[in-house]
Amino acid sequence: MDTKHIQIRNYDYTLPDERIAKFPLPERDSSKLLVYEGGNISETTFRSLPSLLPEGALMVFNNTRVIQARLHFRKGSGALIEIFLLEPAEPAEYQENFASRGRCSWYCLVGNLKKWKEGKLTRTLNIGHSTLTITAERIGTHGTSQEIMFTWDADLTFAEVLDAVGELPIPPYLNRKTQESDKTTYQTVYSKIKGSVAAPTAGLHFTERVLADIDARGIEREEVTLHVGAGTFRPVKSEDIGGHDMHSEHIAVRRHTIERLLAHGGEAIAVGTTSVRTLESLYYMGVLASQGKPLHVPQWMPYEYDNALSTTEALTALLHYMDQQGEDVLHASTQIIIAPGYHYHIVRRMITNFHQPQSTLLLLVSAFIGEDWHKVYDYALAHDFRFLSYGDSSLLNISDF
């Protein structure tokens, strides 16, 4: 299959607005779970997930945490300017940037940019018994985004500043304003590492009860970090996917996690498409490491490489690279696009929500279960499943590797 010439119109379906879940259910694990295996489809509740997984398997979660990435300023003229944080510029490392005091910069999308030709934007608010004044200044253009320098006068880290002045960004297709409840419901119960501007939504169904049941079945849990960018919502606008530029995302994976993958024969259950992208990127990072090349996975590498290394060989090469670098945590980036024609190396089962029509995430699902994605989505539409971020989920199993 010539993946680059796939027509995105062939990955379309009708999604009525009323099927988009605007809010989550009161109990996360009471959501519906569609189960696909060998072409057969059934349904249950998410609470039953552990009983559907093989004992002793390895399950991988994305532990990223959504930041309050939307900031609002008002000019003296009254014009409202929205600044949406995308990724740190200086310091460039997420945790170092969040720990900054007094000054840092980010690459951002700016709403109403034409009204902000020059000058600084300032906002002052009360925090407890003191005040915080934060200033935003445009430094320059960076691709399709703007580099914005933030300065503030209180003895706070930038993470604390965002908690005080920022707004949690919920997906645009919800067509509503962020509510206080979203600060809790739009985070997974295992989120730890701040950096995402969108939640890894398959993880929103997990509760401490479900995680305990997973542990009780002897299923091993590991975590990776992929900070979800705004590009996850960017539609494919070209007729064929060869014209779509995939966004780059940063990942962090502990040495121990890669060792556990090797111990499980290079196979894992992925929670969410971000975990899928991270795990599958590890294979190609191992290939790059074996060739002495920088560990950035270009968009089309999977379709241009002849898969000469086995999964265990690639993971072993990655560990050898980390030994040479003296690293316990692998920091790298990926632009991988997973679409029909892709060969999965690590993911054997995936848990994922129901995605937008003509999206790269729908292509990822189709690469996993083939044309049966039509059956899965038709079933979900016909059986009152709720769609997108706050909607229901699916467990997709395949045995043909």
**Residue 45 clears pLDDT 70, i.e. is over it:** yes
**Residue 241 clears pLDDT 80, i.e. is over it:** yes
Same-domain pairing of 218 and 326: yes
Same-domain pairing of 127 and 262: no
Domain housing 92: 69-167
Predicted confidence at residue 134, as pLDDT, reads 96
Same-domain pairing of 155 and 204: no
Same-domain pairing of 58 and 118: no
8 A C-beta contact, residue 122 and residue 137? no
65-114 pLDDT, tens digit each: 999 999 999 988 888 999 999 999 999 999 899 999 999 999 999 999 99
| 174 occurs within a structural domain | no
Same-domain pairing of 59 and 85: no
User: Could you give the CA distance from residue 181 to residue 66 in angstroms, rounded to a whole number?
Assistant: 14
Same-domain pairing of 251 and 289: yes
Predicted confidence at residue 233, as pLDDT, reads 65
Band of pLDDT at residue 401, cut at 50, 70 and 90: very low
**Residue 203 clears pLDDT 90, i.e. is over it:** yes
**Residue 400 clears pLDDT 60, i.e. is over it:** no
Looking at residues 14-34, what average pLDDT do you find? 97
- The CATH number of residue 241's host domain is 3.40.1780.10
| 177 occurs within a structural domain | no
| 50 occurs within a structural domain | yes
Q: What is the dihedral of CA 296, 248, 273, 54, to 10 degrees?
A: 20
Predicted confidence at residue 182, as pLDDT, reads 95
8 A C-beta contact, residue 243 and residue 219? no
- Which of 139, 167, 195 is the last residue in one of the domains? 167
Looking at residues 361-367, what average pLDDT do you find? 96
Return the closest-CA partner of residue 190 out of 225, 160, 141.
Answer: 225
Domain count within the chain = 2
Same-domain pairing of 346 and 386: yes
| 389 occurs within a structural domain | yes
Comparing 237 with 357, which gets the higher pLDDT? 357
8 A C-beta contact, residue 70 and residue 211? no
246-278 pLDDT, tens digit each: 888 889 999 999 999 999 999 999 999 999 999
101-156 pLDDT, tens digit each: 999 999 999 999 999 988 899 999 887 778 899 999 999 998 888 999 999 998 89
**Residue 208 clears pLDDT 70, i.e. is over it:** yes
Same-domain pairing of 23 and 116: no
Contacts of 107 (CB under 8 A, 6+ apart): 86, 87, 88, 89, 142, 143, 145, 146, 147, 148
Average pLDDT, whole number, for the chain? 94
Band of pLDDT at residue 307, cut at 50, 70 and 90: confident
Q: Is 66 helix (H, G, I), strand (E, B) or coil?
A: strand
Find residue 47's DSSP bridge partners.
none
Which H helix or E strand runs over 104?
A: strand 103-111
In order of 71, 125, 354, 360, the CA distances from 77 in angstroms are 18, 19, 43, 40
Looking at residues 5-9, what average pLDDT do you find? 94
